[in-house]
Structure 1
Amino acid sequence: MDLPVCLIENSADGKMQVNAEAINILSQITEPVVVVAIVGLYRTGKSYLMNKLAGSQKGFALGATVQAQTKGIWMRCLPHPNMAGHTLVVLDTEGLGDVEKGDKKNDMWIFCLATLLSSALVYNSKAVLDEDAIEKIHYVGEMAELIKVRSKDNGDDEAEFDRHFPIFIWAVRDVTLKLEFNGKSITEDEYLENALMLQKAKTGQKGSAKVERRNKCRECIRMYFKERKCFMFDLPTANKNVLQNMDEVSDDQLNPEFMAQTNTFCDYVYKNAGIKYMDDVHQVNGKSLAHLATMYTNALSTSNAACMEDVVTNISVVENTVAVREATQHYENKMKERVTLPTETLEQMLKLSEECEMEALKIFMKRSFKDNDYQFQKQFLEIIEQKKNELFQKNDTESQAHCEKLIKTISKDLQNCLDQGSYVTSGGYQKFKEEIKCIEEKYKNEPRKGTKAEEVLQKFKTSKEMEGITIMKSDEALSDQQKQREKKKANQEKQELQRKMEEDQRSKKNKKMEHQRRIYEENFKETAEKMQKETRMRQKQLQDSLQHKTTERDLYRLQGWDKQAMIYQKQINFVRKMQEELDVSFWLSIAIDALGCIAAALLPPPYRLAAFAIAQVLKVVIK
């Protein structure tokens, strides 16, 4: 994108709505996205930083007056500078506290949307991190009223914010102070952490309510954002004319120290802002980001609150439906590409189908998520079975039609002789047998007969048995004793033909069962691996959260803030309980049992025992 596009805008009724053009752009992006959003007071230079992240001088409107330029949330998408195959989405937001707008609710929505949509949230302010700066980011302390993690009240949504919220970067602009604390030099991050320390109001001091409000904001920043970073920027230039035309001047016209700080900021964001995730484990691409933006915006505009679990569940239904469609379509397309009907053997058909089924399964597994009760996986398996059965039936039908036509052509002379009674003569039976054998040899030498070749041949030979007996009985060249021997031999051949047909049917059935066993074994394996991977990712998220909360609790205890330390202790207990519930073998056992039930529902009785046996073996291996 050469120029930004408005993603979320203010509607005529004062609410917010997504812009169809931006949604269409996002919907074309299939790569994972890294989303960086910037928020802050208007006229603080947010757009300049976003242009630098986008690697350009111009793009987001900078403006040169006291009037705010950016309205709503604007978006720019570009290839990620450091991560091949990923897209960087940069969001520039409407300035908070615009006196012309005077709508605090709109500001709160902007702040919440930026937080919910981003991998990295940049808060932009000016000059110094003092009490006034802390009070101006009061939006953080109000987010718990607008954002819910789960649809059912779990008693502590705030305990889970740090697992779902982005990294937090505070950019302080136009800094003139020295980085010192108690006479010692400190880093930018230490400066931020010191600014976020709780302040105690002096006894009887007026304005204690302000202190409490600012402390509430500090507490929320520390609680909600486990990864925090601070960047401080010198004044870009002392030249007022240059300041008013930042999108026109070259970098060498700006303060070298400011440019170095800007480059360091961009490098940090490129390296540390990660892929946006849903449900802790599912990577967000452009299309799902479009869904997130739409659903979060609608939720805030209609109910003044957004539930993360509800939004993710709704998106999962859309994504899982697409996963089923894409995977089954892949199977159908690849079978058409690779299979020329009729196939020479059943084994060939099974092999090609198995290859395509495995590919389709991987496509489904990669895209699907949050498939509660495996309803979409069951749907995927049902459709694959249906399409496979249709193809197998078509393969058999085409083979049978071809073979019947072939043998009819080859046996045309035989049939003419039978119709004319040419074999009802002395020595006719021997000639009849020789012709049958000749037809059989010619038939077998013909290529590409397909899966019904043997069956059609056996039926042809069976259909000529009665005519053969009639010819034998009328053959004067044969003695009664020879006729008895020929009759006995004919019965033996008939029994052998019947045995071969039954054996062929059993063989085909066994091959199909073995094929189905491998398919369900792979299904169980893929599901188990996906469950293990997702569980480990969730475990890491919980462990990181636990470490963050433990550090904060210990710090509050050290500083004598016992009430805050107790809040963290409750959250620590909450996270530990979640860790206990997230036992890998337990959840995998449930998953495999569920898949066993799916197999039982889909498979005919002979296959069910094999499916359950596979499930039990996998459970033992996992343990």
Structure 2
Amino acid sequence: MEMDLPVCLIENTADGKLRVNAEATEILSKISQPVVVVAIVGLYRTGKSYLMNKLARCQKCFDLGSTVQAKTKGIWMQCLPHPTREGHTLVLLDTEGLGDVEKGDKMHDMWIFCLAVLLSSALVYNSKAVINEDAIEKLHYVSEMAEFIKVRSKDNDNDEAEFSRYFPIFIWAVRDVTLKLVFNGKPITEDEYLEKALMIQKGESSRKVDQRNMTRDCIRMYFKTRKCFMFDLPTGDKEVLQNMDETSEDQLSKAFMAQTKKFCDYIYNNAEVKCVGDMHKVTGETLAKLATFYTEAISSSNATCMEDMVANISVAENTAAVKEATEYYEKKMKEQVKLPTETLDQILELSAECEKEASKIFLKRSFKDTELHFHKQFLEIKEQKKSEFLKRNDMESRRYCEKLIKELSKDLENSLTKGSYVTLGGYQIFKEEMERIEEKYNNEPRKGTKAGDVLQDFKKSKEMISITIMMNDKALSDQQKKIEEDKVSKEAKELQLKIEESQRSEENKKMEHQRKIMEENFRELVEKGNNENRLLMEQLKSIRGTKEKERDLYRSQGDEEHAMMYQEQINDLSRKEKEAKSFNWLPLVEAGFMAIASCFLPPSVVLAGAIFSGVRQLFRK
């Protein structure tokens, strides 16, 4: 979804709080694609909105302003198709400038900063000229975030160390740079410049020095991926600078435009999809829920707990997953199934295809459904809808067949009414007419699943009439009548057996269909669990590697205190990696799925484990 102009996502209220704007959440709720969320923060009047406009590929999306008064209030949002990722949406968040003297409320700035961190997958911090002690001091919000953000609801000593699992990549954009990137007489890169600026400063301890070092330490600890971009002054013309939203690119320096392009390309290629619960991809709809949850928590002056947020979001997402998947199944069945189908096998095959796709939709969106509560709910609703389709299929078939046989037997019924068969040789004429009706009926196409049942019902309804005509037919001897009577009785019994066998066959087909569906569901569930566990191990390994680099860097500078702090985090991550590696997902899923399967299959099939045997072999190879 592409917007003409940005809208306010989080706005200031009259009582000094923050609230989510309904118009923005309505826009987000219509975005079903995964979202890449880029937020920019920094002091007011530092040109944040210009960078966001470049990312949006729009010159006047975000209001730049040209005076000392800050323009952006709250957090403004622009959504557009991602420039380099098909099927993804780029969400840009331009935040209210920090340190605005007109606000006089430092806590408000803290809230804005925390929300930008919590909502984004890439956080851009915008500042001017140089990364020095003053610039580090102005970024003190990072070291204060732990008071407002918790990973778990219970107190945990390693809470802050786990921020790097949930926080966005961190990009420091330094504007209007005039210094040369040289250190000890040697050229250095922008990233090296940032990393050197973030090293702990040794020397005489003071409150300000300690605060700045804490900010440095927190940036290194919280953001596992850090990047720096340095921008030249766009132009020396003051009038052009004051009207950047009216300025064409050829009025700006080539170096500045090249740096801007490099910055945008990096964001497009490296900012990942926003995730919750380690790896669940966030859509626009989910982002609206996140914004509401975080804003309400922060505005109520409570520390926002990511564990609680994930729990709340998982309930909402799983509920939505059930709805989306079952509605998909119903819609596809209506589109693909023309009632009545010729056979039961046909509608079951079509249902199996729709069920498989519906299951994929459910599993893709659902997460943290550890007790399979929502999985069971999905299966129950889907089974109910399938049962309704099967019933409608039977009803449509019966309705059509009853109409057909009534039309074919019209002459027969007229003759019976007139007593035409109560005559010499009438029984033979009646038998031939019944055979003619059956032949014509069998030759008619698309009668559906109840064709046999309706024919049998018709024949059964004429048994007594047949016997009466036969008994009154003087063309037959008593012996012939006895033979015919025995024949009719035998056919009646065979007919009953045929009906019962047909019913058993239908039930067996339905059960076998259900068994295959459950087996496929089980396989997909185990596969999903294994994939999630593998991704978790990769994530933990990646973070551990980052922590090891930080530890080695501090050790190389003789700072054993910080090195040991990172070593403790490394040990904790290693322990979690081992737990994830040794975790056997199969028995856990099997236990939960056995309970679910018992609701849809006979106990004998479930206890025999038939639906699990093939899957066990597949995942134990």
TM class, shorter-chain normalised?
A: over 0.9
Shift of 1:505: 1.5
User: Residues 413 and 321 of structure 1: is their aligned pair in 2 closer, same or farther, counting only changes over 3 Å?
Assistant: same
CA contact (8 A) 2:597 2:606 kept: yes
Which residue of the other structure, out of 497, 504, 526, is the alignment partner of 2:524? 526
Q: Secondary structure at the match of 1:371?
A: coil
User: Residues 80 and 410 of structure 1: is their aligned pair in 2 closer, same or farther, counting only changes over 3 Å?
Assistant: closer
CA contact (8 A) 2:514 2:600 kept: no
CA contact (8 A) 1:38 1:122 kept: yes
Given residue 608 of structure 1, which amino acid in structure 2 is its aligned partner? V
Q: Secondary structure at the match of 1:601?
A: coil
Q: Per-residue displacement from partner, 1:588-613 (whole Å, max 9, x unpaired)?
A: 43123312211212334465357x32
CA contact (8 A) 1:7 1:75 kept: yes
In the other structure, the counterpart of 1:42 is 44
Equivalent-residue separation in structure 2 for 1:483 and 1:244 (angstroms):
112
CA contact (8 A) 1:201 1:208 kept: no
Equivalent-residue separation in structure 2 for 1:354 and 1:572 (angstroms):
47
CA RMSD of aligned residues (A): 2.2
In the other structure, the counterpart of 2:354 is 356
In the other structure, the counterpart of 2:319 is 321
Which residue of the other structure, out of 118, 123, 126, is the alignment partner of 2:125? 123
Given residue 275 of structure 1, which amino acid in structure 2 is its aligned partner? V
Which residue of the other structure, out of 167, 183, 186, is the alignment partner of 2:169? 167
Deviates more, 1:574-583 or 1:535-544: 574-583
Equivalent-residue separation in structure 2 for 1:408 and 1:262 (angstroms):
80
Structure 2: gaps (5+ residues)? none
Given residue 57 of structure 1, which amino acid in structure 2 is its aligned partner? Q
In the other structure, the counterpart of 2:455 is 457
Equivalent-residue separation in structure 2 for 1:237 and 1:410 (angstroms):
92
Q: Secondary structure at the match of 1:247?
A: helix
Equivalent-residue separation in structure 1 for 2:481 and 2:571 (angstroms):
94
Q: Per-residue displacement from partner, 1:65-117 (whole Å, max 9, x unpaired)?
A: 33222221122222222222222222121111222222111111111111111
User: Residues 420 and 269 of structure 1: is their aligned pair in 2 closer, same or farther, counting only changes over 3 Å?
Assistant: closer
Which residue of the other structure, out of 478, 485, 488, is the alignment partner of 1:487? 485
Shift of 1:473: 3.8
Q: Secondary structure at the match of 1:124?
A: strand
Shift of 1:323: 2.1
Given residue 340 of structure 1, which amino acid in structure 2 is its aligned partner? K
User: Residues 469 and 585 of structure 1: is their aligned pair in 2 closer, same or farther, counting only changes over 3 Å?
Assistant: farther
Given residue 579 of structure 2, which amino acid in structure 1 is its aligned partner? E
Shift of 1:465: 2.7
In the other structure, the counterpart of 1:253 is 251
Q: How does 1:428-507 map to 2 (within 5 A)?
A: 428-507=426-505
Equivalent-residue separation in structure 1 for 2:301 and 2:585 (angstroms):
35
Which residue of the other structure, out of 602, 612, 617, is the alignment partner of 1:615? 612
Given residue 172 of structure 1, which amino acid in structure 2 is its aligned partner? V
Shift of 1:415: 4.0
Deviates more, 1:301-310 or 1:580-589: 580-589
In the other structure, the counterpart of 1:63 is 65
1:213 lines up with 2:211 in the alignment: yes
Deviates more, 1:78-87 or 1:111-120: 78-87
In the other structure, the counterpart of 1:299 is 297
Q: Secondary structure at the match of 1:478?
A: coil
CA contact (8 A) 1:328 1:380 kept: yes
User: Residues 576 and 481 of structure 1: is their aligned pair in 2 closer, same or farther, counting only changes over 3 Å?
Assistant: same
Shift of 1:574: 2.0
1:345 lines up with 2:343 in the alignment: yes
1:140 lines up with 2:142 in the alignment: yes
1:91 lines up with 2:93 in the alignment: yes
Shift of 1:279: 1.6
User: Residues 71 and 405 of structure 1: is their aligned pair in 2 closer, same or farther, counting only changes over 3 Å?
Assistant: closer
CA contact (8 A) 1:40 1:124 kept: yes
User: Residues 349 and 585 of structure 1: is their aligned pair in 2 closer, same or farther, counting only changes over 3 Å?
Assistant: farther
Equivalent-residue separation in structure 2 for 1:576 and 1:193 (angstroms):
25
CA contact (8 A) 1:513 1:607 kept: no
User: Residues 260 and 431 of structure 1: is their aligned pair in 2 closer, same or farther, counting only changes over 3 Å?
Assistant: closer
CA contact (8 A) 2:363 2:525 kept: yes
Which residue of the other structure, out of 409, 412, 424, is the alignment partner of 1:411? 409
1:555 lines up with 2:553 in the alignment: yes
Q: Per-residue displacement from partner, 1:423-471 (whole Å, max 9, x unpaired)?
A: 4444333333223222221222233322222122223223333333344
Equivalent-residue separation in structure 2 for 1:63 and 1:186 (angstroms):
34
In the other structure, the counterpart of 1:14 is 16
Shift of 1:12: 0.8
Equivalent-residue separation in structure 1 for 2:254 and 2:398 (angstroms):
82
Equivalent-residue separation in structure 2 for 1:283 and 1:233 (angstroms):
33
Equivalent-residue separation in structure 1 for 2:416 and 2:63 (angstroms):
94
Equivalent-residue separation in structure 2 for 1:78 and 1:155 (angstroms):
40
1:78 lines up with 2:75 in the alignment: no
Which residue of the other structure, out of 265, 268, 279, is the alignment partner of 2:266? 268
Given residue 558 of structure 1, which amino acid in structure 2 is its aligned partner? S
Q: Per-residue displacement from partner, 1:497-544 (whole Å, max 9, x unpaired)?
A: 223222212221221122112221221232223223322222221111
Q: Secondary structure at the match of 2:39?
A: strand
1:516 lines up with 2:514 in the alignment: yes
Q: Per-residue displacement from partner, 1:187-229 (whole Å, max 9, x unpaired)?
A: 1111111111112223xxxx52222211111111111111111
Given residue 366 of structure 2, which amino acid in structure 1 is its aligned partner? S
CA contact (8 A) 1:38 1:114 kept: yes
Deviates more, 1:273-282 or 1:428-437: 428-437
Give the TM-score normalised by structure 2: 0.94
Equivalent-residue separation in structure 2 for 1:423 and 1:60 (angstroms):
92
Identity score, percent: 67
Shift of 1:140: 0.6
In the other structure, the counterpart of 1:196 is 198
Q: Per-residue displacement from partner, 1:290-334 (whole Å, max 9, x unpaired)?
A: 211111111100133211222232222222222222222222222
Q: Per-residue displacement from partner, 1:365-384 (whole Å, max 9, x unpaired)?
A: 23222324222221111111
Structure 1: gaps (5+ residues)? none
Q: Secondary structure at the match of 1:303?
A: coil
Given residue 74 of structure 1, which amino acid in structure 2 is its aligned partner? W
Equivalent-residue separation in structure 1 for 2:68 and 2:403 (angstroms):
88
Equivalent-residue separation in structure 1 for 2:242 and 2:411 (angstroms):
100
In the other structure, the counterpart of 1:222 is 220
Equivalent-residue separation in structure 2 for 1:470 and 1:250 (angstroms):
101
CA contact (8 A) 1:400 1:456 kept: yes
Given residue 196 of structure 2, which amino acid in structure 1 is its aligned partner? N
Which residue of the other structure, out of 102, 113, 116, is the alignment partner of 1:114? 116
User: Residues 255 and 412 of structure 1: is their aligned pair in 2 closer, same or farther, counting only changes over 3 Å?
Assistant: closer
In the other structure, the counterpart of 1:4 is 6
Q: Secondary structure at the match of 2:584?
A: helix
Q: Per-residue displacement from partner, 1:560-581 (whole Å, max 9, x unpaired)?
A: 2222222222222222232233
Equivalent-residue separation in structure 2 for 1:57 and 1:339 (angstroms):
51
Given residue 621 of structure 1, which amino acid in structure 2 is its aligned partner? L
Equivalent-residue separation in structure 2 for 1:3 and 1:447 (angstroms):
59
CA contact (8 A) 1:585 1:622 kept: no
Q: Secondary structure at the match of 2:599?
A: helix
Equivalent-residue separation in structure 2 for 1:411 and 1:81 (angstroms):
68
Which residue of the other structure, out of 146, 155, 158, is the alignment partner of 1:156? 158
Q: Secondary structure at the match of 2:531?
A: helix
Equivalent-residue separation in structure 2 for 1:159 and 1:385 (angstroms):
45
Given residue 619 of structure 1, which amino acid in structure 2 is its aligned partner? R
Given residue 295 of structure 2, which amino acid in structure 1 is its aligned partner? T
Deviates more, 1:95-104 or 1:340-349: 340-349
Equivalent-residue separation in structure 2 for 1:443 and 1:52 (angstroms):
72
Shift of 1:249: 2.6
User: Residues 76 and 470 of structure 1: is their aligned pair in 2 closer, same or farther, counting only changes over 3 Å?
Assistant: closer
Q: Secondary structure at the match of 1:229?
A: strand
Q: Secondary structure at the match of 2:158?
A: coil
